[in-house]
Structure 1
């Protein structure tokens, strides 16, 4: 298990992570640090616990919005897939119908 030092609101924190996940954890810490610093600028120094709580709540809000957008997009994709399947079925039926007409015309002309 790897250990890295991340900085949040100007303070270092040693955090453990799986080997190979160091950069990802650094990126997450940077994102969290930005939220905490944003809260600190807007509300002043509240103490680390409150700053961290507000930063975490803001990130949780963004995550909830992203999940809602994803769910709406999944519904849209499902609708489009159903529409596509229906259109394909209609196209197949139209082609089969056209093939039958062509066969009938060909047998009528041959007779």
Structure 2
């Protein structure tokens, strides 16, 4: 088993985890520590159990908000898949396409002529 050292608030911890889970544990601890630091900045020093409880509740609240947003997005995606909006693409008249191609050719010819006239 691997061991990971980390800090939350004002205390250091060492926790065992499965091999390969170290990065995940460190990331989770960093999130909890970030919340704990915000609490300590606002409220000052407090007992460890209370700090961990408040930080955990703040993360749980944020997670719930993300879950709600994900559920709303999934519902909207499902709605769009079952009833896609009709999109109409205008047809570009052939005469306009030809005129644009001719303008592009003229622009290229002018650019080449300008390059030829540049001093070397």
Q: How many residues align?
A: 86
Task: Give unmatched runs, 5+ long, in structure 1.
Answer: 88-111
| Deviation string, structure 1 residues 15-48 (Cα, Å, up to 9, x no partner) | 1211111112111111110100101111121211
Task: Give unmatched runs, 5+ long, in structure 2.
Answer: 87-120
Match of 2:37 in 1: 37
Match of 1:58 in 2: 58
Is 1:26 aligned to residue 26 of structure 2? yes
SS across alignment from 2:83: helix
Match of 2:102 in 1: none
SS across alignment from 1:7: strand
Superposed CA RMSD: 1.5
* 4+ runs deviating over 3 angstroms: none
Match of 2:12 in 1: 12
| Deviation string, structure 1 residues 63-86 (Cα, Å, up to 9, x no partner) | 0000000110010010000013x9
Shift of 1:10: 3.2
